[in-house]
Every structure is written in structure tokens, then in C-alpha cells.
């Protein structure tokens, strides 16, 4: 059911240019039939997206690589259920998102606000410092809110796409994002002191 709405949104959004639909459908069919080179082609096509999502959520390269490997292993076992190239992309994002959230729930928080150094004022490396602080602050968000931020700003998904991937109402996505941004804004303001953000 969720896939139908996602598929309609994808078609309406003309995202078919992202994937050569005919070639990928043939590759999917061959992979489902046991062709290992076709499956390798699918992995090559989508590994960047899956790794990026995991890395930007987990902030740990080896762990993100392991997570991506788990997602593709899960895909291999479930190839028969993939209906189209669009469904494949949706499925990979959904599985990767849920695996990352499940992993994070089993871990103690890695970053606290106390770990972020106080700002001594404006710096010539402002952008690098700001990026580092933002990464740490995003990592301190609750799991669902963090995944919404990653999907919106790193993966550049629209609200309806995030809602489908995380299987939540679109208004919940919007409110999670608003709350997460408010928390980030507050924490960043406290970290940066009088510097305008």
C-alpha cells in the first residue's frame, strides 16, 4: 500500500530519469532468477545511496559499510518481492533507514552536548567548525528525528518520500523536522555563544 503512493509520487515527480527503467527492470528480473552479475550490477547502482544514508545517520564509516552490506544481503534474500526499479529504490531506503534506527536504539548515545567545544568566537575555519558541530549535534538527536533530518537534507527527499520511507504520516514528518531543527538551532546557538547563525 505504501509503495503504491510512493510509486505514484515518483511517477508524478518525473524521477524516472534517475534510473534507466527498462534496463533496470531486466536486471532485476535476471537477479531474481539467480544471475549474480545482475545482482552485482544492482549493488553497484545503489550502494552509494545506501552507504550515504547509513553514514550520515551513524557517522561511522566501517559501521555504515557493514549496514549497507546487511541491507544488500537482505535484498538478495527478498529479490522476489521487488516489483520495479522504483520499488527497489524505495525498498532500499526504507530498509536502510529502519536498520540504522534499530541499530541506534541498541547503542548508548555516542555524542552529548558536553562533547561539543565552546566557541571562542569567530574563526577563519568557520565553515569546517560549523560542519563538525552540526554533525555532532545532529548525531545527538533522537533516532527518528535524526533520520528525518538525514533523509531531508542529506538525501534531499521530499516530505511525502520521507513519509513513505519511514512509514509515518506526512504531518508527523513535518513536525519531527520542525522540532529537530528547533532543537538544533537552540543547541547551536548555545554552542556558538553570541555568534549569529
Cβ atoms of residues 67 and 96 within 8 Å: yes
pLDDT tens, N- to C-terminus, the chain (197 residues) = 444 444 444 444 444 444 466 788 999 999 999 999 999 999 999 999 999 999 999 889 999 999 999 999 999 999 999 999 999 999 999 999 999 988 888 765 444 444 444 444 444 444 677 778 888 888 889 989 999 999 998 888 999 999 999 999 999 999 999 999 999 888 878 876 655 54
Task: State the Cα–Cα distance between residues 35 and 24, nearest whole angstrom.
Answer: 13
How many Cα atoms sit within 13 Å of 173 on the Cβ side? Answer: 20
d(CA 142, CA 145): 5
Helices and strands in the chain, H and E counts:
9, 0
**Domains, the chain:** 1-107 (1.10.1740.10), 112-197 (1.10.10.10)
Amino acid at each position: 500500500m505504501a509503495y503504491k503512493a510512493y510509486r505514484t509520487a515518483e511517477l508524478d515527480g518525473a524521477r524516472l530519469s534517475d534510473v534507466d527503467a527498462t534496463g533496470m527492470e531486466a536486471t532485476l528480473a535476471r537477479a531474481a532468477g539467480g544471475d549474480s552479475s545482475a545482482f552485482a550490477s544492482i549493488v553497484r547502482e545503489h550502494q552509494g545511496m545506501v552507504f550515504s544514508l547509513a553514514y550520515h545517520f551513524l557517522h561511522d564509516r566501517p559501521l555504515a559499510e557493514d549496514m549497507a552490506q546487511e541491507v544488500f544481503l537482505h535484498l538478495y534474500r527478498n529479490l522476489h518481492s521487488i516489483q520495479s526499479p522504483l520499488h527497489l529504490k524505495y525498498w532500499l531506503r526504507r530498509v536502510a533507514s529502519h536498520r540504522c534506527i534499530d541499530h541506534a536504539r541498541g547503542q548508548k548515545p555516542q555524542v552529548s552536548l558536553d562533547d561539543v567545544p565552546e566557541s571562542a568566537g569567530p574563526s577563519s575555519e568557520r565553515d569546517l567548525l560549523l560542519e563538525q558541530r552540526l554533525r555532532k549535534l545532529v548525531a545527538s538527536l533522537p533516532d527518528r528525528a535524526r533520520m528525518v533530518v538525514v533523509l531531508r537534507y542529506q538525501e534531499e527527499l521530499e516530505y511525502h518520500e520521507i513519509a513513505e520511507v519511514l512509514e509515518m504520516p506526512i504531518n508527523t514528518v513535518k513536525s519531527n523536522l520542525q522540532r529537530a531543527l528547533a532543537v538544533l538551532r537552540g543547541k547551536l546557538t548555545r554552542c556558538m555563544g553570541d555568534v549569529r547563525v
